[in-house]
Amino acid sequence: MPAGAASAMPATGPAGNAQAGQGVFASKCASCHRVGPNARGGFAPQLNAIFGRKAGSTADYRYSDAMKASGVVWNDDTLRAFVRSPGKVVPGNRMLFWGLRSDEDIDNLLAYLRTFP
């Protein structure tokens, strides 16, 4: 994330706090995923403009067959369910993540991701 971008983020979104979500992203997601103007797929796909995007559709990442065939379109409900339990939403996906349990953390993470349209 570019320096100073956190201060430009809205404090709250439809549900959640984007600034708190930046911390959730940093501690739970940033070791694999990237966001921001220079974000590219690497160990995991970049998450810019994820809302409304079909799962497994960015050109800069090689997705599992399960993710490409899932038919999932990312929105509040599908992202909330996926970050809670990735294997339940897309069985056979390659994401090595046990999931977030806190509704507050999930709300905050989604608010943060909304700042990268």
pLDDT per position as a tens digit, 6-62: 434 443 446 899 999 999 999 999 999 999 999 999 999 999 999 999 999 999 999
- Name the 3-class secondary structure at 86: helix
How many degrees, rounded to 5, is the angle at CA 87 between CA 17 and CA 27? 35
Q: Which pair of tokens denotes residue 81?
A: 């369910």
- Name the 3-class secondary structure at 21: helix
Q: In which band, very low, low, confident or very high, does the pLDDT at 1 lie, cut at 50, 70 and 90?
A: very low
CATH 1.10.760.10 for domain 13-113: yes
- At 6 the pLDDT is 41
Spans of all domains in the chain: 13-113
Give the dihedral sign, CA 51/99/43/63.
negative
- At 77 the pLDDT is 97
How many degrees, rounded to 5, is the angle at CA 39 between CA 91 and CA 28? 50
